[in-house]
Amino acid sequence: MCGIVGLVAKSLVNQTIFDALTVLQHRGQDAAGMVTCEGNRFFLRKDNGLVNEVFRTRHMKRLVGHVGIGHVRYPTAGSSSAAEAQPFYVNSPYGIALAHNGNLTNADELGEEMFRADLRHINTTSDSEVLLNVFAHELQRQGKLTPDADDIFEAVSKVHKRVKGGYAVVAVITGYGVLAFRDPNGIRPLVYGTRSTPEGEECMVASESVALDISGFTRVRDIEPGEAIFIDMDGNVFTRQCAEKTNLAPCLFEFVYLARPDSIIDNVNVHQARMRMGVKLAEKVLKERPDHDIDVIIPIPDTSRTSALEMAKHLNVTFREGFIKNRYIGRTFIMPGQTQRKKSVRRKLNPIEMEFKGKVVMLVDDSIVRGTTSKQIVQMARDMGARKVYFASAAPPVRFPNVYGIDMPSPTEFIAHNRTESEIGEAIGADWMLYQDLNDLKETVAEGLDIALTDFDSSVFDGYYVTGDIDDAYLERIDQKRNDAAKVKPESVDHEDEAPADLHTKIQ
């Protein structure tokens, strides 16, 4: 999971991209990067850290130009060093910088193919660099000194034929404009919008519509699965379907947890979808325990608040805020490594005793992955004097790894691994465990749409991978790369000498 943005404007783009990245920060807190283009020069700044840490005034002054792209990173595999931060750059053909959200499931094979057949060197472990080189190679094969939109779209078509997985991409081609495209299944989100200025139309593409909103862009529509959009230097917009076979199957976990509630993804209002999740949970409570004894419903901040409020409303039960969140601690699900997650939970949430003491409490969370946070929160509620502690998840049990860009590496690390729902409740210390049904979750997302949304990437819940290329051998390989043990850095390694990347390159 990462956040991407691309922009062609009539004025400097650095501040607008910075603002967009700050509202996409929830999609990645490991690193940030930006490339701008002026004439035939690229300007790059990227490093580990949050957006406001990576981009200081001195960096922003150097990021000149009316065209650019940006990225916030959440690492799923490989290294998390500054060298792995995006965007990546190649000087041939033309000069291309690229950033992407997602994961290529055939990255290893492509990397080998790049070396042996395309004679290109991959310098990092990032599949984004692989994707960049595949696109650059296919664009170079067009053999044009001055490519047009048709040439660029033809290269994207070849990329779709070679690349597998889930991906949303933004790229800037020196002197030509910004390109964005989405995988043929539309697993990872991508949207574009426009803004009118006295100088003319400006266009932005981003992972979520909220990035458009905060800069005054009007959302036009989502990029379709397999579709590409190219915005030239004058702001002219070209679109084309570049994949031979497409099927809209957006990631279901986006609506549960990843996306901001004020975003619209594939015409789905995320906030409304989460409201409906709460209604479905309430209906399940009444079905399983019509004479329930719940005194109060308390959300676990922040993502579950919307669902918890609707759940309380439909059960006619008091809704209370029982936890105060430290806003300066990152999302624990995103943190690389179990030790760091354990340390952060109590520093992140502090309970209010009066909301728990002597009450039967229903805690509501958006989902449960490893159960680390859930177990500690249940214990907090008991420590505050709760008579009983129930736990509801707005999503079904997470039992399978995600291979399309979310760090869910090893099934053995999931609390739901080889456990029934009641056994999960026992494991986290809850008196009653309530999970959303998968079909109900799908209904909450698809409800009310003009065009039926019938398919999803729900692989983390049901183990079905929409790209059709995932087998046990692949899952074993990513398990070895991504499990918590693999994320522990040897103490003998000194990472302080990893310098941030600043590039000021003139293309001859």
Bind-site residues for Mg(2+): 303, 365-366
Q: DSSP letter at 255?
A: I
| Residue 166 main-chain phi, psi, to 5 deg | -115, 130
Three-class SS state of 412? helix
Helix axis angle, 127-140 to 107-116, nearest 10°: 40
Q: Which of 2, 37, 203, 242 is catalytic?
A: 2
**Residues flagged as binding site:** 303, 365-366
Work out the angle between the directed axes of helices 372-383 and 338-348 (0-180°, nearest 10): 30
486 φ/ψ angles, rounded to the nearest 5 degrees: -75, -15
Buried b or exposed e, range 274-296, using 16+ CB within 10 angstroms: bbbbbbbbbebbeeeeeeeebbb
Residue in 15, 113, 31 with CA at minimum distance from that of residue 64: 15
Of 100, 105, 109, the closest CA to residue 167 belongs to: 100
CB contact set of 314 (below 8 Å; sequence gap of 6+): 278, 279, 282, 283
Residue 501 near residue 83, CB atoms below 8 Å:
yes
Peptide bond into 87 cis (omega under 30): yes
Judge contact between 162 and 243, C-beta under 8 A: no
| 37 a catalytic residue | no
What whole-number distance in Å separates Cα of residue 229 and Cα of residue 209? 16
Give catalytic residue positions: 2
